């Protein structure tokens, strides 16, 4: 089911209730149907919670079976052929919307599942979940629906007291805790300036230096250099890490024309290996890897990338209206250990 009025914003801040989803049924052992909730923030900040039900001795393809949801205030329950297999409660779902001050806020109560939803039924061929159709795909695909029935509980329409069908052994799906709302002080007019220096001698709030380390470690320090003031020093004891400047929310950079930064490599023990930059709009939204090539150790090098070129970069999904990570930089993934380099003057220019 999807929200009829989307009062809390776009998917999935206003919620999605999947009463029954099934993927590639009759193929191998995938006799599973799924019951799931989607909620949280608007994409890409949405989350989901749910579970699957393995059908008991029947193949859902070719036979009619009854799929149902009981939706009471603060609780939802999922059923296949009257078997209650999953329960979720409002303590495990939430809706966070952007308030008038530009910061996220928690919607009180049972949001987003306290609004009218409507039913949607479809049969899809291909898609992100099963993957694209291939030679084994049998067409046409059909779904037959015998009935759709909606009931209310006349004695207790909100709580369904006296009407609920509960199995104590049904799985309790605990859901998600709302993420902490980070209120970072910053000047909202920064994006009106001609040059925004994200890092000169310090980080420009709300941007902050960060790292993603898949293995090993990366030491990040601030050091003084003659003629440059403070610079950021990175020492990679890792082969699978990236460092970046990131804000907790996205910025509209469409008025800017380029991003520039200076790099100096101090140590590079690799036989060969380059460097990579990216710009992200809440990963995996982003430019993808943009090679900087090899950087000879010793001297500061200046790099400048035209944002229009980053948009057009092969494989780029960059959304310039929602950039949270203007610069990600790292030695070539998988080949990083021992590299020490410095970055200075990370700036956006009009
Ligand atoms: Ca500096």
Cβ proximity of 220 and 236 under 8 Å: no
- Shared domain for 2 and 121, answered yes or no, is yes
Q: If you measure from the C-alpha of residue 263 to the centroid of ligand 1, how many angstroms do you get, rounded to a whole number?
A: 11
**In the predicted model, is pLDDT for residue 207 greater than 80?**
yes
**Domain shared by 81 and 193, yes or no:** no
195 shares its domain with 326: yes
In which band, very low, low, confident or very high, does the pLDDT at 105 lie, cut at 50, 70 and 90? very high
For residue 240, pLDDT over 70 is answered with yes
Last residue of a domain, one of 181, 197, 232: 181
Shared domain for 33 and 130, answered yes or no, is yes
Going from the Cα of 222 to the center of ligand 1, the distance in angstroms, rounded, reads 10
Per-residue pLDDT, averaged over 55-64, amounts to: 80
Is this prediction's pTM over 0.85?
A: no
pLDDT at residue number 130:
83
Residue 230 or residue 129, greater confidence: 230
Q: Cα separation of 250 and 216, whole Å?
A: 29
Query: What's the mean per-residue pLDDT of the chain?
Result: 93
Question: Please, are residues 78 and 66 in contact by the beta-carbon 8 Å criterion?
Answer: no
Out of 139, 158, 181, pick the residue that ends a domain.
Answer: 181
pLDDT for the residue 43: 85
Ligand 1 centroid to residue 30 C-alpha, Å = 57
**Partner residues linked to 89 by β-bridges:** 75
CA of 296 to the centre of ligand 1 (A): 20
Residue 339 pLDDT level (bands cut at 50, 70, 90): very high
**One domain for residues 177 and 216:** no
CB-facing half-sphere around the CA of 212: CA atoms within 13 A: 12
* CATH number for 331: 2.60.120.430
Confidence (pLDDT) at 186? 81
What's residue 47's pLDDT? 94
Residues 248 and 337 in one domain: yes
Q: Do residues 297 and 266 touch, judged by C-beta distance below 8 A?
A: yes
16 is catalytic: yes
Q: From the candidates 16, 42, 70, 75, give the one annotated as an active-site residue.
A: 16
Q: How far is the CA of 223 from the centre of ligand 1 (A)?
A: 9
Predicted local distance difference test score (pLDDT) of residue 30: 56
pLDDT at 253 over 90: yes
Q: How confident is the model at residue 273 (pLDDT cuts 50, 70, 90)?
A: very high
Q: How many domains does the chain have?
A: 2
* Per-residue pLDDT at 60: 80
DSSP for 166-189, please give it. --TTSEEE---PPPPPP-----GG
Decide if pLDDT at 29 tops 60: no
Å from CA of 92 to ligand 1 middle: 45
Tell me, yes or no, whether 51 and 121 share the same domain: yes
Same-domain check for residues 11 and 156? yes
pLDDT band, very low/low/confident/very high, at 334 (cuts 50, 70, 90): very high
Q: Stretch 212-239: mean pLDDT, rounded?
A: 95
CA of 193 to the centre of ligand 1 (A): 19
The region of weakest confidence among 107-121, 182-196, 273-287 is: 182-196
Q: How far is the CA of 317 from the centre of ligand 1 (A)?
A: 31
Among 42-56, 108-122, 270-284, 325-339, whose mean pLDDT is lowest?
Answer: 42-56
Q: How far is CA 149 from CA 63, 66, 70, 152, 203, in A?
A: 18, 11, 12, 10, 57
- Domain range holding 101? 1-181
173 with 238, same domain: the answer is no
User: Where does a domain end: 159, 181, 203?
Assistant: 181
pLDDT at 68 over 80: yes
The active-site residue out of 21, 171, 240, 349 is 21
27 pLDDT band, cuts 50/70/90, is: low
Length of the chain: 350
- Is 192 one of the catalytic residues? no
Distance 234 CA to ligand 1 centre (A): 14
Least trusted range by pLDDT, from 51-55, 118-122, 144-148, 225-229 = 51-55
Tell me the pairing of strands 300-306 and 195-199. unpaired
Q: What is the mean pLDDT of residues 117-122?
A: 96
Instruction: Count helices and strands (H / E) in the chain.
Output: 1, 20
pLDDT digits (tens, 9 = 90+) for 221-232: 999 999 999 999
Q: What pLDDT, in 10s, does the model give residues 294-324?
A: 999 999 999 999 999 999 999 999 999 999 9
Is the same domain home to 165 and 239? no
Do 170 and 302 have their domain in common? Answer: no
- Please give the pLDDT value at position 248: 85
Looking at the structure, do residues 314 and 280 belong to the same domain, yes or no? yes
Q: What is the pLDDT of residues 87-99, one digit of tens each?
A: 999 999 999 998 8
Ligand 1 centre to CA of 243 (Å) is 17
The more confident residue out of 250 and 44 is 250
């Amino acid at each position: 089911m999807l929200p009829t009025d989307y009062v809390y914003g776009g998917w999935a801040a206003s919620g999605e209730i999947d009463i029954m989803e099934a993927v590639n049924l009759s193929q191998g052992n995938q006799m599973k149907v799924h019951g799931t909730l989607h909620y949280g923030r608007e994409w890409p900040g949405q989350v989901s919670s749910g579970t699957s039900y393995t059908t008991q001795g029947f193949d859902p393809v070719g036979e009619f079976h009854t799929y149902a949801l009981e939706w009471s205030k603060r609780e939802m329950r999922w059923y296949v052929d009257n078997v209650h297999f999953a329960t979720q409660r409002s303590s495990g779902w939430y809706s966070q919307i952007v308030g008038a001050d530009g910061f996220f806020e928690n919607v009180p109560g049972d949001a987003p599942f306290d609004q009218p939803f409507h039913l949607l039924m479809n049969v899809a061929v291909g898609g992100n979940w099963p993957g694209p159709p291939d030679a084994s795909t049998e067409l046409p695909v059909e779904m037959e629906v015998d009935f759709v029935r909606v009931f209310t509980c006349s004695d207790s329409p909100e709580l369904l007291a006296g009407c609920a069908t509960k199995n104590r052994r049904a799985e309790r799906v605990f859901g998600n805790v709302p993420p902490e709302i980070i209120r970072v002080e910053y000047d909202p007019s920064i994006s009106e300036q001609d040059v925004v220096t994200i890092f000169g001698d310090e980080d420009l709030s709300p941007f902050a230096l960060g790292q993603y380390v898949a293995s090993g470690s990366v030491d990040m320090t601030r050091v003084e250099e003659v003629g440059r003031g403070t610079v950021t020093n990175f020492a990679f004891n890792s082969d699978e890490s990236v460092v970046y400047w990131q804000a907790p929310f996205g910025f509209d950079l469409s008025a800017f024309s380029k991003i520039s930064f200076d790099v100096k490599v101090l140590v590079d023990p690799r036989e060969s290996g380059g460097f990579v930059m990216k710009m992200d709009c809440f990963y995996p939204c982003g430019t993808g890897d943009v090679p900087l090539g090899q950087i000879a150790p010793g001297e500061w090098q200046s790099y400048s990338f035209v944002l229009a070129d980053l948009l057009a970069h092969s494989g780029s999904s960059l959304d310039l209206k929602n950039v949270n990570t203007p610069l990600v930089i790292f030695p070539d993934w998988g080949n990083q250990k021992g590299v020490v380099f410095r970055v200075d003057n990370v700036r956006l220019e009009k």
